Amino acid sequence: MFGANCLTGKTRLAICLIRFASLSHSARPIAITVPPANAFPMTQRAPEIFQTPLADLAIPGAPPRGTPEFEQSVITHFALDYARRGWNALVTVDADFVRCVAVPEQGIEPKDYVLGLLRAGFLEDALPLLQALSGMLADADIEYNYGICLSELGRIADSLAPLQRCLALDADYVNAWIGQGVALARLGRDDEAATSLREALRRDPGNALAQRNLAAVEARARDGAEEAGAQAKSLKALETLHARTDGRPRMDAVFYMQGALERFAAMSREEIGKAVMEIALLGRQGLKINDPEKRYTLKSLPGDYSGLQLLATMHAGIRLFDASADTGTGLDREYELAVAMQGKKTGAS
């Protein structure tokens, strides 16, 4: 029933690191959606592939579940049903499911049929068929396509198990190493992803798909390291923020906040929010808050600013939205003084 027409490397689903989907799937017995007419020769008929929970079976006169006689009765029930129709059927039973692959005369090879569904974009229809075949056969192609189908349907974590089973069956299955690497990267497990992608390249040094995805993973790791380094420098700078004033409030920061409050008074909340967000994003790269000679520019506000001035402006902006927010800047006392001084200034005028 299963001939040599397997899923080949040229016809497997393509993988992309940044492609996502969020479709749903039911593991219940399925009604197969027929792919477009040109997907298969008109003279061939589709196989039936399914798995059904044993708890859902109702076979009159069947022996007690869990006995060898029950298993044989289930197999016989489905095998005879298909035999009466002139079909060849393979039926298996385990502790939870009965699985069946049945092919009519002049029928399509089951794996070819599943591949046709995948090619036609019927991923949700192909998924339960792949699941059933995975439970019946030790087949690297089935496991690979099962894993990729899960991944394409947004079930990234679930895709790892069939991809790993594929590699256990065939360690030279390069696309499975790539698929596993992509799935791990999507889950944020970049070190493991890089290891899997490097293994793919070890086995196929010129594989462009593995090269592209490994480059993307390594670039993300570099960006993360650079950002972490910048944040560490910023935290170190914050620790020394009040060193030059022996722990007393920084009056330069107070005056910067006064200026920011006056400017914000003429701006909409949306404009203030954009400015605060831009400063926060800039701060992820690290601000030299103790170096007044270093200047920064913003798209949302005119002029140029020192690092401390931006930090003070961001603190004031955040507090306008949430008076009790923990900004992490260490400028709470300076803000209180700025607000008090601004209030006196407004009252005097």
DSSP states of 276-335 as a string? HHHHHHHHTT---TT-TT-EEE-SSSSSEEEHHHHHHHHHHHHHHH-TT---SSS-HHHH
pLDDT, tens digit (0-9, with 9 covering 90-100), for 267-307:
998 899 899 888 888 877 777 888 889 999 999 999 999 98
pLDDT, tens digit (0-9, with 9 covering 90-100), for 306-332:
988 998 998 898 888 888 888 777 888
pLDDT, tens digit (0-9, with 9 covering 90-100), for 8-59:
332 233 232 322 222 222 333 333 333 444 444 546 788 888 888 888 888 8
For the entire predicted model, the pTM comes to 0.51
CATH 1.25.40.10 is right for the domain spanning 37-47+104-217: yes
pLDDT, tens digit (0-9, with 9 covering 90-100), for 257-272:
999 999 999 999 889 9
Render the burial of 311-324: b for 16+ CB within 10 Å, e for the rest: bbbbbbbbbbeeee
- SS3 (DSSP) at 157: helix
Q: Which residue has the tokens 């993360």?
A: 224
Q: Of the given ranges (71-75, 142-146, 167-171, 262-266), which has the lowest mean pLDDT?
A: 71-75
pLDDT, tens digit (0-9, with 9 covering 90-100), for 95-108:
888 888 788 887 78
Give the Cα separation of 242 and 328 in Å (integer): 14
- SS3 (DSSP) at 204: coil
Domain ranges, ordered by start, for the chain: 37-47+104-217, 245-348
Residue 34 is predicted with a pLDDT of 38
At 256, the amino acid letter reads Y
Residue 113 is predicted with a pLDDT of 85
* Averaged pLDDT of the chain: 78
Half-sphere exposure for 315 (CA within 13 Å, toward CB): 26
Strands (E) located in the chain:
48-53, 88-93, 97-103, 295-297, 304-306
Higher pLDDT, 77 or 200: 200
Both structure tokens of 68: 């060898």
User: C-alpha dihedral over 262, 264, 267, 269, to 10 degrees?
Assistant: -150
Residue 19 is predicted with a pLDDT of 26
